[in-house]
């Protein structure tokens, strides 16, 4: 048993407990955010010491440390750090619960890291529940009507999806006699002979269970209401952290245990769902008037794009896996930047309606420019990481022979440009309802600046990130 492979998660757990205890004695609650950021940095330092090549295993190969694990760990820690920084002012709304807020963010992050590093079904389920239960509470943290509704709806639908997922895992265990992903792969032939129909049902249940976590159509019904009602920093956390963790698990499960010699044509299932997800997400986003609901449907559409890459990995394509990972990292930076700008603007205006952003370029030129840059990246226009990510993702799908799927993806990208540009038009050409300036605090500006620098550098000079992503893809698909 190599407990050191759990080092980053242990650090986050310890820091979460420390924050809760500190909350009982400190008067200046900003200290809690500082401790949270320090914990993230310590966990990142520990994560940097984890082995990558060759991979190391712990707990009877239930846990793995490889390039894939380390890269996603850094991504989740970066997301958590930016969310905590952007929450410094917002968290004042929670009054006596600020310690619990930061602790739950760290515990949810630890769950996401475990999701990326586990290679066994029971461990995957436990990690997923650690992530989800923390997010259920965080979604309802404002304790007003919308937030309470968001938390309740998320919890009820999340519990249903978890039950579906667990039933699928139980079927696979019953047919293969194991919960280890690599052993499931080697038992496929025997499992087929026992019950082909049961195996197909198990796959469908896994797709449905994981589909809820990534807000994939037709399991996306929770996303708009939860995104609108949850605290805005948690909406940002949900939109990137939970989604990235979900796709990390999907890549491991469907490429290790249910790979190209798997028991069902899961790539066709994902191809159909990719078309539905990106099309419905983009079309419904066209008519949204609330900026958080707009980004909710945008997030659904982005999940559809990622599914295009997931389909391409069905041929054990390292290039496709690299495209998926790079796109997820770029999307995380971009969407976090957009939400952090929205946090700063909404805190001053008290308005999440798109109409409330009218003339914002004159009231907050820096924030408006930052939001505009992130929306351009989400559209996929150079020189942003969004353009590089889509090019990488769609190129891998073309190489794998899914040309028709890429064409639909490009059409959807063109559709998405309309609602992104609509926000830009309102900010730059609309009449400002007030001349009062909108300024952001230092922590929010720092978080926003870090996101924007990442979006720009990864868009102009993606080479170093490419190399790391390719190493992660090799460890996933050997």
Percent over 90 (pLDDT), the chain: 53
The predicted model gives 23-28 an average pLDDT of 86
DSSP state of 304: H
Judged against a pLDDT cut of 60, whether residue 355 lies above it is answered with yes
Min mean pLDDT across 6-10, 26-30, 378-382 is at: 26-30
- Other beta carbons less than 10 A from residue 391's beta carbon: 16
Residue 455 · residue 334 · CB < 8 Å: yes
Mean pLDDT of the region 396-412: 92
* 301 pLDDT higher than 90: yes
What's the alpha-carbon Rg for the chain, to the nearest Å?
21
Does residue 462 surpass a pLDDT of 60?
yes
| Residue 322 backbone phi and psi in degrees, to 5 | -60, -40
DSSP 58-99: ETTTTEEESHHHHHHHHHHHHHHHHHHHHTTTGGGGGGGGHH
CA 36 – CA 343 distance, rounded (Å): 19
The pLDDT, as a whole number, for residue 177 is 83
Query: Nearest 5 degrees, angle CA 304-CA 310-CA 315?
Result: 145
- What average pLDDT score do residues 142-164 get? 88
> Which residues 6+ apart lie within 8 Å of 247 measured at CB?
214, 306, 310, 324, 328
**Tokens for 279?**
């099309």
What's the mean pLDDT in 341-349? Answer: 85
Distance CA 105, CA 477 (A): 31
Round the average pLDDT of the chain to a whole number and report it.
88
Kind and range of the H or E run holding 56:
strand 56-58
What pLDDT is recorded for position 316? 67
d(CA 293, CA 304): 17
Which residue in this structure is represented by tokens 């990246």?
377
The pLDDT tens digits of the residues spanning 184-197 come to 877 776 656 566 77
Residue percentage of the chain with pLDDT more than 70: 97
Please state the rounded mean pLDDT for residues 54-73: 87
**Taking the domains of the chain in order of start, what are their residue ranges?**
1-117, 142-263, 265-478
Question: How much is the pLDDT for 256?
Answer: 79
Report the pLDDT value the prediction gives residue 438, as an integer from 0 to 100. Answer: 78
Q: What are the distances in angstroms from CA 299 to CA 63, 196, 252, 302?
A: 30, 35, 22, 5
Mean pLDDT of 420-445: 85
Q: Encoding tokens for residue 247?
A: 């796709």
The arithmetic mean of pLDDT across residues 428-440, rounded, is 79
The mean per-residue pLDDT over the stretch 216-239 comes to 90
pLDDT for 187 equals: 75
Give pLDDT, residue 194. 64
The average pLDDT across 212-229 equals 90
- State pLDDT tens for residues 92-123: 888 778 889 999 999 999 999 999 999 889 99
Determine the 3-state secondary structure of 283 from DSSP. Answer: helix
Kindly state the tokens that stand for 450: 């870090």
Residue 171 vs residue 316, higher pLDDT: 171
pTM of the full structure:
0.93
pLDDT at position 259 over 90: no
pLDDT for 403: 92
């Amino acid at each position: 048993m190599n407990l050191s492979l759990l080092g980053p998660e242990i650090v986050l757990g310890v820091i979460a407990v420390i924050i809760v205890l500190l909350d009982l004695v400190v008067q200046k609650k900003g200290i809690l955010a500082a401790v949270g950021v320090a914990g993230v940095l310590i966990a990142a330092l520990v994560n940097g010491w984890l082995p990558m090549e060759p991979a190391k295993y712990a707990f009877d190969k239930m846990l793995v440390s490889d390039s894939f694990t380390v890269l996603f760990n850094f991504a989740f820690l970066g997301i958590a750090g930016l969310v905590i920084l952007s929450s410094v002012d917002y968290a004042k709304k929670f009054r006596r619960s600020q310690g619990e807020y930061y602790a739950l963010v760290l515990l949810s992050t630890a769950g996401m890291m475990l999701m990326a590093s586990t290679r066994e079904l029971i461990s995957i389920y436990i990690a997923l529940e650690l992530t989800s239960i923390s997010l259920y509470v965080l979604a309802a943290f404002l304790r007003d009507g919308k937030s309470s509704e968001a938390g309740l709806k998320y919890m009820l639908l999340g519990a249903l999806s978890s039950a579906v997922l667990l039933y699928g895992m139980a079927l696979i265990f019953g047919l293969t006699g194991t919960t280890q992903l690599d052993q499931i792969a080697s038992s496929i032939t025997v499992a087929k002979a026992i019950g082909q129909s049961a195996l197909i049902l198990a796959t469908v249940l896994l797709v449905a269970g994981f589909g809820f976590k990534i807000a994939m159509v037709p399991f996306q019904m929770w996303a708009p209401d939860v995104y609108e009602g949850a605290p805005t920093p948690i909406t940002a956390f949900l939109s990137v952290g939970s989604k990235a963790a979900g796709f990390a698990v999907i890549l491991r499960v469907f490429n290790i245990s249910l790979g190209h010699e798997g028991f069902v044509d899961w790539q066709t299932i994902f191809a159909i769902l990719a078309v539905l997800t990106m099309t419905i997400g983009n079309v419904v986003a066209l008519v949204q008037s609330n900026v958080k609901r707009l980004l909710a449907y945008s997030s659904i559409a982005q999940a559809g794009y990622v599914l295009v890459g997931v389909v391409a990995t069905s041929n054990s394509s390292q290039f496709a896996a690299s495209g998926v990972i790079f796109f997820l990292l770029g999307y995380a930076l971009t969407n976090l930047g957009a939400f952090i700008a929205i946090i700063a603007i909404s805190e001053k205006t008290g308005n999440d309606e798109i109409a409330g952003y009218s003339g914002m370029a004159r009231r907050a030129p820096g924030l408006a420019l930052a939001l505009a840059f992130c929306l351009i990246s989400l559209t996929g226009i150079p020189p942003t990481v969004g353009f590089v990510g889509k090019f990488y993702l769609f190129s891998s799908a073309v190489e794998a022979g899914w040309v028709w799927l890429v064409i639909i993806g490009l059409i959807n990208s063109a559709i998405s440009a309309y609602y992104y540009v609509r926000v830009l038009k309102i900010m730059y050409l609309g009449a400002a309802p007030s001349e009062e300036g909108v300024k952001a605090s230092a922590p929010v500006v720092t978080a926003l600046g870090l996101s924007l620098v990442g979006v720009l550098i990864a868009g102009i000079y993606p080479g170093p990130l490419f190399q790391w992503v390719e190493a992660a893809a090799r460890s996933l698909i050997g």
